[in-house]
């Protein structure tokens, strides 16, 4: 723990900015509480070096530590509860609370998988208290007929509201138009993104800027798969909204400058673990793209293509283009030994007579 001036609440021993881990320690928060406080805007962050890695300034830490009721007040602002505790908090039954959550009256802020691999949604305690104060008539008695009809139709807005909340947080953090477009694209399946973004190099740039998923690399495969499913829009109207939103954001991004290309002035690198060719086209590399793709890692994650020459980290040029700029299918040169054997097998002329 960094020494703190008891009279002023400041931390003279801290550098100008600190990483999230150290900031959480100084603010006496668990890492999950700290991340949620950042997401909700209770803790302001600043860009660090290299760009894209956020940090917390010493001034912001001093502000939070000097606030009244620290640290209990800050912890209370990010306290989350599950369904059972949420129902007790607003004086209703767990089944009634679940119905209210499914119809979108309360929005989850986080989730986890229990030992049965079922999704357990978490809610902000402060938001539930505000909801109960405004909607006492929904906490007991018979639900209104429109809500019952929606429940009978199988509506469940929990995942959708969580996605919307997360996307809003990502967009607030984006300063670059291409980053905003990438955040929107991250909630759509790759096939849908390709329908909106026809240029393969633009798709590759969006993929490179795609936000990191909300789980650590050490999480189990089940957690990663469940989270990846929840990250994608799955209702037709939700999908259509994000497609339209992506189209508008793409226009703004293009107006700010073109996406980098392999032969441009700016270097281009795909996201780690994604083959450069697959990032561009959405397919596995075809013959003729140079070196074969290696397989690395316990799960067989494809690695980057081997560079064509030492020190060359750029994407290989696309297979040949004709004079009109159109792509031609890659050709594959046959080995000499095979070509010779094929020649030997040519049928000879039929004997006369």
* pLDDT of 320 higher than 50: no
Percent of the chain having pLDDT more than 70?
A: 69
User: Angle 177-185/200-209 helices, nearest 10 degrees?
Assistant: 90
Per-residue model confidence as pLDDT tens digits over 241-291: 999 999 999 999 999 999 998 764 444 444 444 444 344 444 433 333 333
Confidence of residue 11 (pLDDT cuts 50, 70, 90): low
Q: Which pLDDT score, from 0 to 100, does residue 275 have? A: 41
| pLDDT tens track for 122-144 | 999 999 999 999 999 999 999 99
Tens of pLDDT, residues 323-341? 444 334 344 444 445 444 4
- Residue 321's φ and ψ, nearest 5 degrees, are -110, 145
- 236 pLDDT above the threshold of 60: yes
- Structure confidence by residue, pLDDT tens digits, 23-35: 999 999 999 999 9
The pLDDT value given to residue 261:
85
Query: Please, what is the Cα angle at 130 between 157 and 127, to 5 degrees?
Result: 50
Mean of the pLDDT values across residues 228-243?
95
How many Å apart are CA 239 and CA 181, to the nearest integer? 15
Q: Which of 6-10, 192-196, 208-212, 290-294 has the lowest mean pLDDT?
A: 290-294
Task: Measure Cα distances from 217 to 56, 192, 224, 282 in Å.
Answer: 23, 26, 9, 23
More confident residue, 3 or 171: 171
Residue 64 has pLDDT above 80, yes or no: yes
Higher pLDDT residue, 352 or 256? Answer: 256
pLDDT category, 98, cuts 50, 70, 90?
Answer: very high
pLDDT at 277: 38
- Average per-residue pLDDT for the chain: 79
Q: How many Cα atoms are found within 13 Å in the side-chain-facing hemisphere of 80? A: 20
More confident residue, 169 or 268: 169
CB under 8 A, 24+ apart: contacts of 169-172: 169/39, 169/40, 170/211, 172/41
Which residues pair with residue 302 across a beta bridge? Answer: 295
């Amino acid at each position: 723990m960094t020494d703190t001036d008891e009279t002023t609440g400041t931390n003279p021993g801290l550098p100008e900015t600190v990483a999230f881990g150290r900031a959480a320690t100084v603010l006496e928060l668990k890492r999950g509480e700290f991340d949620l406080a950042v997401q909700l805007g209770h803790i302001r962050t600043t860009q660090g070096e290299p760009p894209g890695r956020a940090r917390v300034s010493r001034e912001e830490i001093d502000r939070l530590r000097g606030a009244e009721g620290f640290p209990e007040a800050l912890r209370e602002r990010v306290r989350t509860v599950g369904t059972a505790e949420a129902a007790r908090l607003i004086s209703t039954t767990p089944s009634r609370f679940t119905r209210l959550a499914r119809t979108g009256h309360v929005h989850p802020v986080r989730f986890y998988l229990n030992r049965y691999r079922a999704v357990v949604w978490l809610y902000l305690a402060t938001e539930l208290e505000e909801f109960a104060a405004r909607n006492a008539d929904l906490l007991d008695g018979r639900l209104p007929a429109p809500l019952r009809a929606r429940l009978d139709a199988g509506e469940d807005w929990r995942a959708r509201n969580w996605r919307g909340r997360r996307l809003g947080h990502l967009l607030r953090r984006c300063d670059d138009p291409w980053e905003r477009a990438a955040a929107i694209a991250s909630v759509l399946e790759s096939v849908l993104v390709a329908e909106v973004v026809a240029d393969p190099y633009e798709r590759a740039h969006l993929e490179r800027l795609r936000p990191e998923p909300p789980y650590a690399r050490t999480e189990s495969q089940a957690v990663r798969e469940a989270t990846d499913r929840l990250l994608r829009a799955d209702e037709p109207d939700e999908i259509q909204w994000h497609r339209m939103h992506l189209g508008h954001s793409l226009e703004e991004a293009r107006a700010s400058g073109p996406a980098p290309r392999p032969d441009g002035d700016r270097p281009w690198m795909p996201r780690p673990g994604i083959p450069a060719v697959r990032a561009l086209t959405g397919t596995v590399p075809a013959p003729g793209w140079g070196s074969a793709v290696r397989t690395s890692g316990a799960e067989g994650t494809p690695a980057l293509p081997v560079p064509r020459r030492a020190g060359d980290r750029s994407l290989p040029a696309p297979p040949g283009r004709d004079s009109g700029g159109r792509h031609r299918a890659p050709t594959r040169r046959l080995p000499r030994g095979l070509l010779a054997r094929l020649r030997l097998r040519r049928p000879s002329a039929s004997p006369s007579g």
